[in-house]
Chain A
Amino acid sequence: MGYLSAFDCCVLWHLYLPLIILIMNLRRYNIYFNTHTISGIIICAILYVIFFAGSFSFFKNEINAWQKNESDKGGTYRNLVFDHLLDSINQVKELKGRDIAFYMQHNGHASYVNIGASQDTIVANRAKLMAAQKTKGITKDSEAKGEKKKKRGRGRRGADDSMYFSYDLATKKPSDYGDGYTMGEFLYRLHFLAPLNQIGINIGRPFGYTLAGLVSFIFLFALISGLMLHWDKIKSNFFVFRPENKWKTVWTDMHTALGVIGFPYQFMYALTGIVLIVNSVLIIPFSKYLYDGKENEVYAALGYNDNTKYTYLYEPLSTTFKMGDFLDKLESKWPNSHMNRIFIKNYGDRSMHVVALYDANIDKNFAGSGRIIYRVADNKILFEKSAADNGTYLDYVKGFIYRLHLADFGGYPIKIIYFVLGIMGCFVIISGILIWLVARDKNNIPKRKRIFNFWAANVFMAACLTMFPVTAVAFIAVKLATKVDQPFIFHVYFYSWLALSVFYIIRRNIGKTNRETLFLGSVLALAVPIVNGIKTGNWIWVSYRSGANDILLVDLLWLSLGIIGLLIFRKMLQSARKENDSAKQVTANEANGDIKKASPPKRTFVLKSNPTTEV
C-alpha cells in the first residue's frame, strides 16, 4: 500500500475539484428544485385567487363607479363641509370631550369618520344612559323579531358610544358599509382572503388574513428558490420559447419565461403583500422589546395614527374653532399636498388639539408626509413639518411599500401594466401546476401516487380556472339585480364558483376544464359590457362620449378579456384538432406495432385517454 505524495494529492485535488463543485451544485440544484416545487404546489390555488382578485382590485374605484353607474368625476368640496358635518352630528350626539378622526378615502372626496367616546364624564355618562336605553329598546325589538339581526361586515358595534361611518364630502351623503357593498370591494377583500375570516376557524387572529400572510411568505420563499434554480440558465434561456414542442416544454418555457420576466414584479408583491397583511409578526415583538408592549405606540411611531392623549381639563373652550378655516389656511400654506388623516382631540375643551396628516401629491413627491399639531385654545402650532420637505427614511420606505403595492402613482397606464403583469402571474401559476403534473406522469412513478397527483392537479385547475367565468357572472348579476348588498354578492360568487368547480372536478378532464372555462369566461366577459349597455344605456360609445372614463374602462377591460380569451380558445382548438389528426395517422401507420411506444408528442395531456388518470 503506497502512500500518496503531496504532489499526487495536489494533482488529485485539482482533478476532483471541478467534479466536487459539480456534485455540490447538483445537490443544491435538486434542493432548490424540490423546495421550489413543493412550496409552489402547496400555495398554488390560493395564490391564484390572490393574483386574480388582486389584479381586478387595481380598478376597485372604477368597478364601484361601473356598478353604481355613477361616474366618479373626482367630486370637489369646500372645507366648510366639515363644519356642517360636525354641527349636524353635534345635534344627535354631544361632541364635547370626544376624539374625532377623519380618514380620507382614495377617491379624494369621501372620508371614514370615527367618533370616539367622550372624555367628559358627564357627557359620557349621559351618553351611556342613552345608549343603554336604546339597546334595551333594540333588544326588545329584536327579540320580538326573533333575533334576526346578524353581525356582518366590518365596523364597530355594541352599546359603546362611538360612531363609525363613511361620508361623501362632495354629495354630503353618509353611507353604511354593508349596503354600499360592490364587486370592487368584494374582489379587493377577496384578494387578502377576508371572507375566510368569517368561516369560524378560531386561531386567535383573523384566519383569512393569517392564511394570506402565510401564503405570501411561502410565495416569497418559492420565488427565492426559483430564482436560485434558474440563476445559471437565466441568460441562456431568456429567449427560449419552444411552442412547437411537446406540452411539457411549452409549460416549462411559459413558466420560466413569464416567471423570469415577471420576477421583480412578483417579488415586490410577495414582499409588500406580507408587510401589508401580517406586519404584526414584526410589530408585536418590536413593541414588546422596544415600546413596553404598546402596539399603539409603534403604529404612532410609524406615522399611521396619532394616539397622543391630552389631559382633559373640564374647562370649555373660550374661542370658536372652524375646521373649514383651519384646513383652508393649512392648504394655502401647503400646496401640492392632500389631506390623509385628521384627528381632533378633546373636542370643545380647553385642551382641544387638532392633528393633521397630509401626503404630498404623488407627481410632486413620491413619499412626502406632513404633520401639524395645533392647539386651539391659544391658536398655537406646536409642531409642523410640511409634506414638501424632504421625506425621512421612514417616509420613503413606507411610501415605496404602499405606492408599489397599490399602483396609485401613475394613473391608468401603470394600473393596466400592473393588471397585465398580475394576470401573467396567474399563467405562471397554472403552467406551474401543469409542469408538476406532467413531470410526474411517468411509468416509474407508482400508480397510487399518479392518481393522487392527477386528483390534486384536477382540483386545483378546476378551482382556479372557474374563477374567470364566475367573476364575469357576478359582474352581470350585480347589473341585473335590483338590490345588491354583501350577502347577494357572496351568494352569487361563492355558490356559482362551488358549483362550477365541483362540476369540473367530477369531470376529471383538465384539457376540457381549460378550454371550456376559457370559452365560457370569454363569452360571459363579452356579455358584461352588453348587459351594462342594455340595462343602463351606458354603451361603450356613450360613456366614451360623456367622458365617464371609469365606467368605460371596466367595459373595455371585459371586452378585451373576452376577445383575447376567444382568440386563445381558437388557437387551442386548432392545435387540438391538428393533434387528433396526427394521432390518427400514427395509430393507422402503426396499427400492428407497439402503439404505446410510438405515441405522438404529448400535447393533449389529459384530453387523450390516459389509463391512469382517466380512471
Chain B
Amino acid sequence: MPANKKYLSSPFQRFLKITAGFFGGYFVMLYLHLCLTKLFDKTDILITAYVTGFIAWGILLLAAFLSKNGWLIWGIYLLLIAVFYGIFIYL
C-alpha cells in the first residue's frame, strides 16, 4: 500500500516544498551555524557543523514536506535566513 494520496500535495506545491527544504533549508542551516561563530570558536563551529549541519539540513527538508503550504514554508525559511544573516552580519 503506497501512501494515501489524500495527504500528499499537488505537484506545484511539492516543487515549492522541495526547493524550500533543499535550498532554503541549506541556507537556514548555514547562517544558523555562522551565527554561532559569534559565540564560539569558528573552527569548532565548522567541525560541529560537519555533524549537526547535515542532520539539521535533512530535518529542515523533512519539515518542509510536513508543512501545509509550500509558500508558507518558503516564507518561514526566508524569514529565518534573514534573521540569522542579520545577526551574523550586523551584530
Residue ranges of A at the interface with B (Cβ–Cβ < 8 Å): 26-28, 30-35, 37, 217, 220-221, 224-225, 228, 271, 274-275, 279, 281-283, 285-286, 289-290, 298, 301-302, 393-394, 397-398, 401, 439-440
Contacts and interface: CB of A to CB of B under 8 A. Distances in A.
Contacts of A290: 34, 37, 42
B58 A393 contact: no
Most buried by A among B49, B58, B62: B58
A35 B4 CA distance: 12
A31 B42 CA distance: 37
A397 B48 contact: yes
A271 B54 contact: yes
B61 interface: yes
Interface residues of B, number: 32
A439 B53 contact: no
B90 interface: no
B3 A28 contact: no
B50 A397 contact: yes
A30 B53 contact: no
A275 B48 CA distance: 11
Nearest to B59: A224
Nearest to A401: B50
The 5 closest A-B pairs by CB, nearest first: A30-B7, A34-B3, A33-B3, A30-B3, A397-B47
B66 interface: yes
B1 interface: yes
28 contacts: A26-B4, A26-B7, A30-B7, A31-B65, A31-B66, A33-B2, A34-B8, A37-B2, A217-B54, A217-B57, A217-B58, A220-B54, A220-B58, A221-B58, A221-B61, A224-B55, A225-B62, A274-B54, A275-B50, A279-B50, A282-B30, A282-B49, A283-B46, A302-B46, A302-B47, A397-B47, A398-B47, A439-B2
A226 to B, nearest CB: 11
Contacts of B50: 275, 279, 282, 397, 401
B14 to A, nearest CB: 10
B8 A31 contact: yes
Contacts of A271: 51, 54-55
Q: State the main secondary structure of chain A at its contact with B.
A: helix
B91 to A, nearest CB: 14
Q: State the main secondary structure of chain B at its contact with A.
A: helix
A393 B55 CA distance: 19
A30 B34 contact: no
A107 B8 CA distance: 52
Contact of B44 (A217, A220, A228, A394): A394
Nearest to B54: A274
Nearest to A396: B47
B43 A301 contact: yes
B82 to A, nearest CB: 16
Contacts of B33: 282
Nearest to B46: A286
A269 to B, nearest CB: 12
A394 B47 contact: yes
A217 B8 CA distance: 23
Contacts of B7: 26-27, 30-31, 34
B2 A440 contact: yes
A397 to B, nearest CB: 5
B67 to A, nearest CB: 10
Contacts of A228: 62
B54 A30 contact: no
Given A225-B62, A301-B43, 14 more contacts: A31-B3, A31-B66, A33-B3, A34-B8, A224-B62, A228-B62, A275-B51, A275-B54, A282-B53, A286-B34, A286-B46, A401-B50, A401-B51, A439-B2
